């Protein structure tokens, strides 16, 4: 496969992936990343505003049936305060993430979106990550100011999907991604690596599905067995799966925004740096207030639990300069939209 050729076919890329060492793969992906995105790593402020969830995904620590989870909600005024603080710290993109919490009706979410837009003088991009909704609801959110939507498909293996996301439909989730794109959102999806029952073929298909969906953002992280869930005793798989996935995604989707995920930083102290070296160009400082952050436990041993936003941003800046990157406060809009 020729160096940095942006027009490689998916087949060329997969053949290279299959034979390349992780080091070779990462080098190729990082150099392609730099040729498009430079050395800048864009920060997106993450606010985990509710951990109530009506879903019962077997892998997730905030699943409905986990009676040990301590539940919380952050109300609208508090969300606006958190966004203002992040905005004053320089952030220009925010992600509102939550469990599928019926308390937050479409109207409530719209009011929050409108206020965030106003408060940030329409200079910040807002991403929602709150699960499958109807097309009508996605349209309402869009009209109220949502710019982007994240909805991971978690695995491209339909049978595996149906066995771990009970009462959820793979087809509906993929249809939701199409709805989002058609409504003019910048669309994000992604998956976990190392799920029980997953194979190397699944991992290749996961990445190919992201390319087929022409995603603007792709998040991938290692599955971490979570206490008090049916998958608690599953084996921990190597971070290398997620590192190789990041590099493969960069080669398949050169323009996409790809985060170095918290899950990677959780199972390896330098997991996020490794992901950046594999072609990731986004970091997501967690702005969730310290008092409740510890309860948004999708998986155990989450990092940065006792740090506030400014400390986190400073720490990320230092970590990035140590690997010859620099943090950026850009809105990080999708490159396909003419930038
Ligand atoms: N390990 C790693 N990632 C997880 N997620 C949920 N549970 C886990 C887990 N146990 C991921 C899912 C979800 C995202 C918000 O967090 O991919 O989409």
pLDDT in tens, 32-55: 999 999 999 999 999 999 999 999
Query: From the CA of 197, how far away is ligand 1's center (Å)?
Result: 16
User: To the nearest whole number, what is the mean pLDDT of the chain?
Assistant: 96
The sign one gets for the Cα dihedral 65, 82, 189, 13 is negative
pLDDT at 6 over 80: no
pLDDT at 3: 58
> From CA 125, how far away is CA 93, in angstroms rounded?
5
What is the mean predicted confidence (pLDDT) over 214-234? 98
The pLDDT assigned to 306 comes to 85
pLDDT value at residue 282: 98
Average pLDDT, stretch 233-250?
Answer: 98
Q: Which residue has the tokens 């009706």?
A: 105
Contacts with 188 (C-beta within 8 Å, 6 or more apart), sequence order: 127, 129, 148, 149, 150, 151, 215, 216, 217, 218, 219, 257
pLDDT at 9 over 90: yes
Task: Output the CA 192–ligand 1 centroid distance in Å.
Answer: 7
Q: Which atom belonging to ligand 1 lies closest to the Cα atom of 224?
A: 1
- Tell me if 268 sits within 8 A of 239, measured CB to CB: yes
Asked whether the predicted pLDDT for residue 4 surpasses 90, the reply is no
The pLDDT value given to residue 309: 84
Q: How far is CA 135 from the centre of its chain?
A: 21
Taking CA atoms, 313 is separated from 46, 97, 268, 327, 333, in Å, by 12, 19, 19, 9, 20
CB of 41 closer than 8 Å to CB of 325: yes
| Residue 339 pLDDT > 50 | no
Cβ count within 10 A of residue 282: 24
Separation of CA 222 and ligand 1 centre (Å):
8
253: tokens are: 């989707």
What mean pLDDT is predicted for residues 133-155?
98
- On the question of pLDDT at 305 being above 90, the answer is no
pLDDT at 87 over 80: yes
Residues touching ligand 1 (Cβ under 6 Å) are 59-60, 152, 154, 192, 221, 223-224, 226, 263, 298-299
**Cα(271)–Cα(118) distance, rounded to whole angstroms?**
36
């Amino acid at each position: 496969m020729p160096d940095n050729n942006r027009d490689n076919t998916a087949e060329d890329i997969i053949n290279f992936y299959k034979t390349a060492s992780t080091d070779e793969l990462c080098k190729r992906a990082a150099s392609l990343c730099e040729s498009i995105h430079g050395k800048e790593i864009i920060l997106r402020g993450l606010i985990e505003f509710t951990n109530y969830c009506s879903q019962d995904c077997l892998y997730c620590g905030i699943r409905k049936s986990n009676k040990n989870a301590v539940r919380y909600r952050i109300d609208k005024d508090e969300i606006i305060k958190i966004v203002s603080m992040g905005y004053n710290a320089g952030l220009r993109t925010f992600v509102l993430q939550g469990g599928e919490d019926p308390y937050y009706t479409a109207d409530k979410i719209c009011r929050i979106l409108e206020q965030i837009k106003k408060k940030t003088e329409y200079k910040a991009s807002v991403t929602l990550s709150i699960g499958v909704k109807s097309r009508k609801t996605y349209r309402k959110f869009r009209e109220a100011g949502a710019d982007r939507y994240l909805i991971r498909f978690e695995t491209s293996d339909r049978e595996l999907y149906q066995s771990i996301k009970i009462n959820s439909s793979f087809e509906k989730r993929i249809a939701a991604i199409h709805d989002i794109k058609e409504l003019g959102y910048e669309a994000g999806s992604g998956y976990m690596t190392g799920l029980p029952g997953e194979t190397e073929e699944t991992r290749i298909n996961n990445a190919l599905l992201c390319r087929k969906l022409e995603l603007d953002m792709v998040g991938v992280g290692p599955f971490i067995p979570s206490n008090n869930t049916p998958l608690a005793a599953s084996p921990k798989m190597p971070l290398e799966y997620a590192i190789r996935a990041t590099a493969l995604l960069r080669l398949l989707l050169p323009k996409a925004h790809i985060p170095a995920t918290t899950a990677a930083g959780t199972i390896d102290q330098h997991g996020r740096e490794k992901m950046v070296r594999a072609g990731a160009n986004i970091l997501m400082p967690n702005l969730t207030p310290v008092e409740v952050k510890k309860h948004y436990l999708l998986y155990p041993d989450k990092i940065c639990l006792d740090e506030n936003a400014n400390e986190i941003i400073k720490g990320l800046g230092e970590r990035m300069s140590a690997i010859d990157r620099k943090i950026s406060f850009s809105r990080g809009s999708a490159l396909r939209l003419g930038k």
